[in-house]
Amino acid sequence: MTAVIILTVMTSVIEPAARSLLPAADPRWQTAVATPADADALHDLFAACSQDTVRLRFFGHLRAFPADYLDPALSGRADVHDAVVAYAYGASRARLVGLASLALTPGAPAAELGVLVGDAWQRQGAGRAMVELLLARARIRGVRRVRAAVLPGRSALLAALGRRLPAERLAHSADGPSGVYKLD
C-alpha cells in the first residue's frame, strides 16, 4: 500500500517527552524507529515478499529495495524520511515483518506514506501498528492532512484511513483511487 501525507515542512524531531503521546502498541507487534542496523533484516524481508506484494507497494516490479528509498529511510531524520519497523512481540528484531515510512521530497509540500508488510504477516495488524505510530509521530511534527493514493482495486487502505480520520476529499483517476484525510 502507498499513501501520501500533506504536511507543513518542519525540521523538528520528536522530543522524548512527546513519546507519551504515541498510541498504545498492538500486543502482537513491536514497532520501533528504523535504524541503519535494520538494513540486513529489511533486505531479508524484501526477499521474502512476493512479486505482487512488491508491485503493490512500489507500483512496479523490483528485485531489491531501491537505494534512494531505503538509505534515507534508515538515516534517522524524521523530518526527511521517518521510518518504522515491526517485528513479532518477543521475537528478534533481526526478523522484521514490515517497514512503513513517511518521505518528504525536498521542496515539495507532500510526504509519501509507504507500507510494506511481508506476505506471511499481512492482515494481522502489523501494518496498522506501524501506520498508527507514524501518524502519531507526524501529528507531533505538525502534519495536518493525509493523502493516500493506491492502485486500482486496492481501496482497503483508503477505507481503513476513513474509519480513523475524517475524509476531506476522495478522488479516482486512471492511476487509482486517492483520498485526503484530516489528521488534526
Give residue 26's pLDDT: 72
With 50 as the cut, is the pLDDT of residue 18 above it?
A: no
Average pLDDT of the chain is 79
Helix/strand/coil (H/E/C) assignment for every residue in the chain: CEEEEECCCCCCCCCHHHHHHCCCCCCCEEEEECCHHHHHHHHHHHHHCCHHHHHHHHCCCCCCCCHHHHHHHCCCCHHHHEEEEEEECCCCCCCCCEEEEEEECCCCCEEEEEEEECHHHCCCCHHHHHHHHHHHHHHHHCCCEEEEECCCCCCHHHHHHHHHCCEEEEEEECCEEEEEEECC
Q: Which carries the bigger pLDDT value, residue 45 or residue 182? A: 45
Whether residue 34 contacts residue 74, with contact meaning beta carbons closer than 8 Å, is answered with yes
| Mean pLDDT score, 166-182 | 83
With 70 as the cut, is the pLDDT of residue 28 above it?
A: yes
Strand-pairing partners, residue 171, are 178
Q: What would the pLDDT profile of 55-88 be if each residue is shown by its tens digit?
A: 888 878 898 888 888 998 998 788 888 899 999 8
Give residue 25's pLDDT: 58
Q: How many CB atoms lie within 10 A of CB 129?
A: 25
Helix/strand/coil (H/E/C) assignment for every residue in 66-110: CHHHHHHHCCCCHHHHEEEEEEECCCCCCCCCEEEEEEECCCCCE
Domain count, the chain: 1
The grid cell for 83 is 521510518
| Mean pLDDT score, 159-163 | 85
Q: What would the pLDDT profile of 95-149 be if each residue is shown by its tens digit?
A: 999 999 887 766 545 567 888 999 998 999 999 999 899 989 888 887 777 777 7
- The CATH number of residue 114's host domain is 3.40.630.30
Whether residue 136 contacts residue 21, with contact meaning beta carbons closer than 8 Å, is answered with yes
Give residue 160's pLDDT: 85
**Cα–Cα distance for residue pair 47/33, rounded to 1 Å:** 21
Give residue 96's pLDDT: 94
With 80 as the cut, is the pLDDT of residue 4 above it?
A: no
Q: Distance of CA 81 to CAs 71, 78, 154, Å?
A: 9, 5, 24
**How long, in residues, is the chain?**
184
With 70 as the cut, is the pLDDT of residue 164 above it?
A: yes
Which domain, by its residues, includes 79?
2-182
| Mean pLDDT score, 144-171 | 81
